[in-house]
Amino acid sequence: MPWTKLQVESEEPEFDENAGDNARKLDFEKALFEALDQSLEYDPRVFAMGQGINDPQGMFGTTTGLFKKYGLERVFDTPLNEEAAIGIALGAAMAGMRPIVIHNRPDFLLMAMDQIVNHAAKWSYMFAGQVPLPVMIRACVCRGWGSAAQHSQALHGLFHHVPGLKIALPATAYDAKGLFISGVADNNPVLFFEHRWLYKHQSCVPEHMYAIPFGEAAVKREGSDVTIVAVSHMVIESLRAADELAADGIEVEVIDPRTIRPLDIETILASVKKTGRLIVADLAWTTGGFAAEVIAQVTERAFHDLTCAPKRVALPDLPTPAGYTLEQAFYLGAKDIKEAVLEVIRTKKVS
Amino acid sequence: MPWTKLQVESEEPEFDENAGDNARKLDFEKALFEALDQSLEYDPRVFAMGQGINDPQGMFGTTTGLFKKYGLERVFDTPLNEEAAIGIALGAAMAGMRPIVIHNRPDFLLMAMDQIVNHAAKWSYMFAGQVPLPVMIRACVCRGWGSAAQHSQALHGLFHHVPGLKIALPATAYDAKGLFISGVADNNPVLFFEHRWLYKHQSCVPEHMYAIPFGEAAVKREGSDVTIVAVSHMVIESLRAADELAADGIEVEVIDPRTIRPLDIETILASVKKTGRLIVADLAWTTGGFAAEVIAQVTERAFHDLTCAPKRVALPDLPTPAGYTLEQAFYLGAKDIKEAVLEVIRTKKVS
Amino acid sequence: MFLEMAKNDCAQFSVPNLTGEQTAEFLRKMLLIRVTELKIEELYHLDEMKTPVHLSLGEEAVSAGVCMHLRTEDAVFSNHRSHAHYLAKGGNLGAMIAELYCRETGCSSGRGGSMHLVAKEVGHWGSSAIVAGATPHAVGAALAFQMQKKDSIAVVFLGDGACQQGVFYESMGWAALKKVPVVFVIENNFYSVNSHLSVREANEYLYKRARAFDIPSCRVDGMNPLDVYASAAQAVSHARSGKGPFVLEYVVQRWRMHVGPGDASAQLYRMPEEFTKGYRRDPIEEFIAHVLKEGLLDSSRVQEIRTRVDRDVGEAFVFAQNSPLPDARDLTKYLFVE
Amino acid sequence: MFLEMAKNDCAQFSVPNLTGEQTAEFLRKMLLIRVTELKIEELYHLDEMKTPVHLSLGEEAVSAGVCMHLRTEDAVFSNHRSHAHYLAKGGNLGAMIAELYCRETGCSSGRGGSMHLVAKEVGHWGSSAIVAGATPHAVGAALAFQMQKKDSIAVVFLGDGACQQGVFYESMGWAALKKVPVVFVIENNFYSVNSHLSVREANEYLYKRARAFDIPSCRVDGMNPLDVYASAAQAVSHARSGKGPFVLEYVVQRWRMHVGPGDASAQLYRMPEEFTKGYRRDPIEEFIAHVLKEGLLDSSRVQEIRTRVDRDVGEAFVFAQNSPLPDARDLTKYLFVE
Ligand SMILES: Cc1ncc(C[n+]2csc(CCOP(=O)(O)OP(=O)(O)O)c2C)c(N)n1
Ligand SMILES: Cc1ncc(C[n+]2csc(CCOP(=O)(O)OP(=O)(O)O)c2C)c(N)n1
Ligand SMILES: [Mg+2]
Ligand SMILES: [Mg+2]
């Protein structure tokens, strides 16, 4: 199938109820469903598997009933293991298939770390590009309701250290569909992280199959005072903060890299050149995470564009507590982003 | 056993052949052997296990023959698996033992990622500190000789993202022994990474059992022009670079955090305050690694102490190539550190 | 379907000789689990227990019957479906309910929630919500007991799903090699969430997995408390007497949804006939009928036990509901132990 | 000791009916492995092959005998001890030797080294140096063949050590469930590096592991090429005819150190008597004696094969030694495929 022939898009259309393709708003989960459905339809080499994929709930509605349309050979439930499941996907990819492996939570990917890090990420390099592994691995980050330490981790920061993987974290329904399709089209292993709180978010989603290229950030809001780089659900939180700050006359620029590997650092650097201030809002632990990397790259490459210390809005370095009084203190959102912005705004420019 | 009563040290003694305790130089590997031997001797709850631990070569000489002294119940070979081995160590720790699990290479720890990240790192927090897991996991980073992508990884950067783990990376024989003993004494899970190229390095190592506290950096060389934060074998490379640079009148300060979790950021900040320039030299991939974290912390907390962009000397974001012509280009050392120093020195101060 | 399965390949046991006290204690354990779970279910919709609960209703005989043979010094290792294991081993009821209410007085001080219970004082060192995650812990504890020359044993509870994780096989291999005192208890309820075993395994007789390592094993009707009791006696004494590991597969019925309240028959999309009338068995009612018939207990004693359990459960909920919540200022506490 | 083991529980096979051509090809495969490995060993001290080599000397019959039954479209999955598998499946000899010399003309362009060979054109999609790492790949490839309605099969070679990794069991479970055409070939040389199986397993009969999943399996004397041939024929045709997975355990002798050249008997610290005189068997010499005796080949044909193999190996080394090294400027090439 000519996956390379797919229409490439990158800017989210404005919703316009009279404008044909742009007249449709879709849930994030429906956008993912559509992307999977279209991928299965488009290329018989694509198949999808995962624990409970054929449940009535169907992985938060993103797979519901697809096995009826494509058969249990192409959409199938799996034994309860992760290491073999991912290794099997790799083997099937070697043999010419394009598997999609679905996991409920990134926490469970740790069982398959060897297959992902020692195998998937290295196969192209070790064999000089001769054996492509077009495998996409999906996992849904969970939050809240006492899910506790083993069922709530946002682990993109771990995988992000590993060369050879591509990592997408969509924040809108539009991006979700386009990045999903790019991920399936890619001939390399792709990790695709969804955040559970995004499933009901809506945006304008064209019906046709379109691909959003990896490594192209989206400026989700323009502004001149502070640059916020945010991923996944933190994009939503950042936009919320930006709205409130605008009321106080502070114009925040919100950049969503959409993929953290590859990372579109140029768009971030251009923004920091303009604003002089950088905040990175991440879903994951502070130490050693994606936020640290963005700060390192920006300070290495554009130190003199920064007028004050960069700042991370990222999780405290702790396992997730179960109790809701602790969860409230643990998770960060619009309020914390707003505070961070006010703090860097207060720092006077010294350049 | 009163592990808390152990003598605490932190500064490496000068070698002095007339000075009793300081009259002895020891190989890094012998220092580790001695630390393990003394730990086994000191506390009957300590035991050590690992694949090939009782080989004649004995984990690079660090375990050789110890099973004869302590019996096969306390120093024993294991089945060829990592996930169960580490899980078993955790279970034994729950039941009151203090296991040491030895792995030839960090690459293999990926098999046990679930036990390390989902279990060891979270047990204290999830159960409100009621169930201590005094487990030490050792692994030796390999380099060169065509070891290739699956047998050469320095993975401390992965684990470093995970709250609940302590991570030591000794660079000298003296530190190796003291950190090892601190690691065994600790009531929490500890990862202990050795670099294969260090085993023949010598330093002054007291015979008695001493503990080097985690979270205390060592200033391995004082200097006023540039701060280099380096770990493990990169400390040796940095000191080499520093020697050469001193000949050109450039005084480099080399700081070895010794443990990256906990990290002694204060010592690093104090140094940067003095030098205004920061280089981080790491064994691991650049993106999302320990070096990024140091830069993030320093720029967040001491932005105005920096007079120029910080810099990373860390591995290219690639799987390790097998071929030696590629290995030469892949690995970094004194030469690269020297170049980085010259580059930041060239940047004129703008404060 | 389940009834047939339960007979299928299940080992036969002669009726165990239970004293009146043992009978009463066994019944109390089962009722404690039953009444607690029903109460959780009853109150769950109030949204005060903000943590996912995996109920063991229908499966009570296994936890209770196995733990009847355990001493305080023995260790149990549990999973996401953890309440029954915790209670059967003697974990404090109030501390468990408080944990579900995410209170500071919870057994894990509100840090763990329903899937992460702990009761150190009775040999329960914390349960893991990673399927099969605790399996090697049990082998490690058993190894420690062996090193310490104790005659304690370790028991780990695994679901049928957990038997598909590689670490279960690695753990059996270690256990056989070291001949450690561990009993692997498989609660085969034929489901992993909503996925029936038949879509996950070619061979549903999970006790056969142990044959790979020459570990003795058998399949038992887990809905029959007497069979559970008798089979566990055998496995525990095997392990305790130094003969090494044992694997018990109990065929059971999970009455509820995978997580949360709600009748499973409404949701399980495969083989719902398993849950239609005639197939559902109640281990507790079967047991009571048996003990009354055999005169092991009289009906007033049974009533007395019921009353006591009801009271205990009621008190536990009151304790939990009135307990303080964790203070957000203590968020970073417990990352490490001293 | 080994001899006894080889008899112990080993399945018996009637002598296979080999044509002259098959005999010649089987012999050629074994000799190719033998001569190549000996040459590597001979030149290794020159430090020009800067990559760890795991030699299969002594184990040649297994790779050769199994691959005799495979087609180009069938896939093999290999491990750190990869040379024999690669050669037996028909991988290009020069490209392999060039890989050991870390040359750009190597099968992996000098990126992989000895443990990471690849020969896509003959169904070898890259070997993993993580013990058991490739096991699920074989199941995945077999699943793909099934989906693609091909009659190809997948074969994975595992050591006795690899049988201790959980993923082997997970993979068997999947293979049984999906009934995919995969053959698991265990090369049981009783050692993982220098650790004897007896310190790692209670039960050394590895073919029994398959019983956990009702996968047919047998143990075979892997030092006897005829038995290897006959047993592999059976397993391969089982898999190819849609009957699902098969597990073959071959008992073999690893003559050399775990890694690098050198007689194993000098170093293996347990049971060195296995390697003392009288116990060592040579599958190739046994095979030649047999074929000469049975008149399957005459001695001039045998000599011809030897000469051809010697020449091929010699040429491969010359090719490799004269090949260009990878250019450091290409370091970042191949992180991703297009
Ligand atoms: C490694 C891992 N994978 C997936 C899950 C998600 N999960 C939680 S419980 C469960 C089902 C477990 O089934 P089983 O072991 O049979 O136990 P049961 O729920 O039937 O008691 C699954 C898939 C998990 N917790 N851990
Ligand atoms: C997961 C993992 N653990 C440890 C190692 C180190 N290692 C490499 S080969 C080997 C021995 C393998 O033994 P076996 O599977 O019997 O194969 P053999 O070498 O005998 O052919 C070990 C332990 C590894 N490569 N991968
Ligand atoms: Mg179940
Ligand atoms: Mg072996």
Q: What per-residue confidence (pLDDT) applies to A349?
A: 55
CB D135 near ligand 2, within 6 Å: no
Note whether C126 contacts B128, CB cutoff 8 Å.
Answer: no
Ligand 1 site residues, Cβ closer than 6 angstroms? A 51, 80, 82, 104, 108, 111; C 80-81, 129-131, 159-162, 187, 189, 191-193, 254, 258
Q: What is the pLDDT of residue C264?
A: 76
* CA nearest to B187, candidates B141, B131, B118, B239: B131
pLDDT band (50, 70, 90) for residue C171? very high
- The CA distance from C132 to the nearest CA of chain B, in Å, is 11
- A82 catalytic, yes or no? yes
| pLDDT tens digits, B187-196 | 999 999 999 9
pLDDT tens sequence across B298-350 = 999 999 999 999 999 999 999 999 999 999 999 999 999 999 999 999 986 55
Question: Scanning the structure block, which residue is given the tokens 């404090």?
Answer: C92
CA distance D27 to D61: 9
pLDDT of res. A99: 98
Provide the token pair at D187: 């090369």
pLDDT of residue A351: 44
Confidence of residue C197 (pLDDT cuts 50, 70, 90): very high
Residues 238-297 of B with CB under 8 A from D: none
Task: Kindly state the helix (H) or strand (E) to which residue B254 belongs, with its residue range.
Answer: strand B252-256
Helix (H) or strand (E) holding A292: helix A290-302
Model pLDDT, residue B58: 77
A274 or C1: whose pLDDT is higher?
A274
Which H or E element spans position A310?
none
Q: How confident is the model at residue B351 (pLDDT cuts 50, 70, 90)?
A: very low
Distance in angstroms (rounded) separating the CA atoms of residues B346 and B340: 10
The 10 Å Cβ neighbour count of residue A278 is: 29
pLDDT higher than 50, residue C169 = yes
Identify the residue whose C-alpha is closest to ligand 2 atom 25: D130
Asked if B119's CB is within 8 angstroms of C334's CB, the reply is no
C28: CB partners within 8 A, 6+ apart: C305, C308, C309
Q: What is the pLDDT of residue C7?
A: 58
- Which residues of B belong to the active site? 82, 151
Report residue C273 as tokens. 């006939």
Residues in chain D: 338
Name the residue with the closest Cα to ligand 1, atom 21. C159
Residue A164 above 80 pLDDT? yes
Find all residues with CB under 8 Å of D145, minimum gap 6, and list them: A95, D151, D152, D153, D154, D180, D181
Please report the pLDDT score of residue B349 as a whole number: 55
Nearest CA in chain C to A58: C194
Q: Is pLDDT of B21 > 90?
A: no
> Which pLDDT belongs to residue C3?
43
Per-residue pLDDT averaged across A33-46, rounded? 98
Residue type, D110: G
Confidence of residue D277 (pLDDT cuts 50, 70, 90): very low
Q: What is the pLDDT of residues C230-289, one digit of tens each?
A: 999 999 999 999 999 999 999 999 999 999 998 876 665 444 455 444 467 899 999 999
DSSP code per residue over A139-188: EEE--STT--TTS----HHHHTTSTT-EEE---SHHHHHHHHHHHHH-SS
Give the helix/strand (H/E) hosting C45: none
Phi, psi of B120 (to 5 degrees): -50, -50
Give the 3-state secondary structure of residue B41: helix
Strands (E), chain A: 7-8, 25-27, 46-50, 75-76, 98-103, 136-141, 166-168, 190-195, 202-204, 210-211, 218-221, 226-230, 252-256, 259-261, 278-285, 311-315
DSSP 8-state symbol, D176 = H
Q: Which residue has the tokens 């924040």?
A: A171
Using CA atoms, how far residue A43 sits from A46, A99, A178, A207, D142, in Å, is 6, 11, 16, 17, 20
Interatomic CA distance for residues B182 and B169, integer angstroms: 12
D225-240 vs D283-294: helix axis angle to the nearest 10? 90
Q: What is the rounded average pLDDT of the residues D248-275?
A: 76
Mean pLDDT computed over every residue of chain B: 95
d(CA B182, CA A73): 54
Question: What average pLDDT does the segment A266-282 reach?
Answer: 98
For A11, the enclosing helix (H) or strand (E) is none
Q: Which pLDDT belongs to residue C274?
A: 54
Of D71, D337, D177, D137, which is closest to residue A97 (Cα–Cα)? D137
CA atoms within 13 Å, Cβ hemisphere of C75:
30
Q: Assess whether pLDDT exceeds 90 at residue B20.
A: no
Query: Hey, what are B192's tokens?
Result: 């202990």
Q: Would you state the structure tokens that stand for residue D182, as one six-digit string?
A: 């995969």
Phi, psi at C154, each rounded to 5°:
-115, 145
B22 pLDDT more than 80: no
Angstrom CA distances, D77 to A83, B44, B111, D230, stand at 17, 45, 19, 21
Q: What pLDDT digit, counting tens, does each position of B89-116 carry? A: 999 999 999 999 999 999 999 999 999 9
CA gap D326, D333 in Å, rounded: 11
Cα–Cα distance for residue pair B57/B29, rounded to 1 Å: 12
Residue B18 has pLDDT above 80, yes or no: no
Across residues A263-292, what is the average pLDDT? 98
List CB contacts of D144: < 8 A, sequence separation 6 or more: A91, A92, A94, A95, A96, A97
CA atoms within 13 A on the CB side of C271: 14
Mean predicted confidence (pLDDT) in B176-189: 98
Cα(B24)–Cα(B22) distance, rounded to whole angstroms?
A: 6
Residue B244 pLDDT > 60: yes
For residue A318, give the DSSP letter. Answer: S
Look over chain D and give the mean of its residue pLDDT values, rounded to a whole number.
94
pLDDT of residue C276: 46
Q: What pLDDT is recorded for position C70? A: 98
Beta-carbon contacts of residue D266 (< 8 Å; ≥ 6 apart) = none
Task: Compute the mean pLDDT over every residue in chain C, rounded to the nearest whole number.
Answer: 94
Residue D333: other Cβ atoms inside 10 A: 18
- Residue A178 contacts by C-beta under 8 Å, 6 or more apart in sequence? A9, A10, A210, A211, A212
Cβ(D172) – ligand 2 distance below 6 Å: no
pLDDT of residue B11: 81
Tokens of residue A57, six digits: 């709930």
**Confidence (pLDDT) at C279:** 64
Residue D195 pLDDT: 92
> Is D325 within 8 Å of B325 (Cβ atoms)?
yes
A322 contacts C102? CB cut-off 8 A = yes
Cα of C309 to nearest chain A Cα, Å? 27
What was the pLDDT predicted at A10?
77
Tell me how crowded residue B288 is: count the other CB atoms within 10 A of its CB: 31
pLDDT of residue D220: 96
How many Cβ atoms are within 10 Å of C179's Cβ, its own excluded?
A: 16
pLDDT of residue B144: 85
Cα–Cα distance for residue pair C110/C120, rounded to 1 Å:
16
Residue keyed to tokens 């391995």: B220
- Tell me whether C247 touches chain D (CB under 8 Å): no
Q: Ligand 4 mean position to C229 CA, how many Å? A: 42
Residue B327 neighbours by CB distance under 10 Å: 23
Q: How does DSSP assign D68-93, residue by residue?
A: TT--TTSEEE--SS-HHHHHHTT--H
D35: which 2 tokens? 């001569």
Asked whether residue A14 carries a pLDDT value surpassing 90, the answer given is: no
With vertex at residue D73, the alpha carbon angle to CA D71 and CA D77, rounded to the nearest 5 degrees, is: 90
pLDDT at site A126: 98
Q: Give the pLDDT confidence of D120-162 residue by residue, as tens digits.
A: 999 999 999 999 999 999 999 999 999 999 999 999 999 999 9
pLDDT digits (tens, 9 = 90+) for C214-224: 999 999 999 99
- CB distance D141–A94 less than 8 Å? yes
For helices A233-247 and A334-346, the axis angle rounded to 10 degrees is 50
Place D4 in a pLDDT band, splitting at 50, 70 and 90: low
Is residue D162 within 6 Å of ligand 2 at its C-beta? yes
How many of the other CB atoms lie within 10 Å of CB of D45? Answer: 10
Task: Tell me how far the alpha carbon of residue C185 lies from the centroid of ligand 3, in angstroms.
Answer: 12
B145 vs D contacts (CB less than 8 Å) = 50-52
Of D265 and A199, the one with more pLDDT: A199
* Residue D1 scores a pLDDT above 60: no
How far is residue B63's CA from residue C302's CA, in Å, rounded to a whole number? 61
> Please, which pLDDT band fits residue B10 given cuts at 50, 70 and 90?
confident
d(Cα D282, Cα D57) in Å, to the nearest integer?
A: 9
- Do residue B321 and residue D108 have CB atoms under 8 angstroms apart? no
pLDDT (tens digit, 9 = 90+) per residue, C47-75?
Answer: 999 999 999 999 999 999 999 999 999 99
> In chain B, pLDDT over 90 holds for what percent of residues?
89
Q: Please, which pLDDT band fits residue A17 given cuts at 50, 70 and 90?
A: confident
Residues of chain C neighbouring D165 (CB-CB closer than 8 A): 166, 170
Instruction: For this complex, say whether ipTM is above 0.95.
Output: yes
Section C67-87 average pLDDT: 98
Contacts of B287 in chain A (CB under 8 A): 160-161, 163, 261, 293
Cα B206 off chain centre by: 20
Q: Which of A64, A62, A39 is nearest to A54 (CA)?
A: A64
